[in-house]
Amino acid sequence: MPIAEAFRKRQYPNHFKSKLSDADKNAETPFWLTFALACNYIDFEKKKD
């Protein structure tokens, strides 16, 4: 969970940027959107936007 880790480290700008970069490289957003869809937190229309 690089984004959550980044948020906890936000007082350290370089570490914060590093964690956000990790999240981008790991395609964290598509993963969590797929997870949210599987758990019925969102519907397919929301996921595809």
pLDDT in tens, 2-47: 667 767 767 778 877 777 777 766 677 788 888 888 999 888 887 7
Higher pLDDT, 1 or 35: 35
Q: How far apart are CA 22 and CA 45, in angstroms?
A: 27
Give Dmax (Cα) for the chain: 37
Q: Is the dihedral of CA 15, 10, 29, 36 positive or negative?
A: positive
Q: Is the dihedral of CA 42, 36, 19, 21 positive or negative?
A: negative
Q: Which three-class secondary structure state does DSSP give residue 40?
A: coil
Angle between helices 13-25 and 28-38 (to 10 degrees): 60
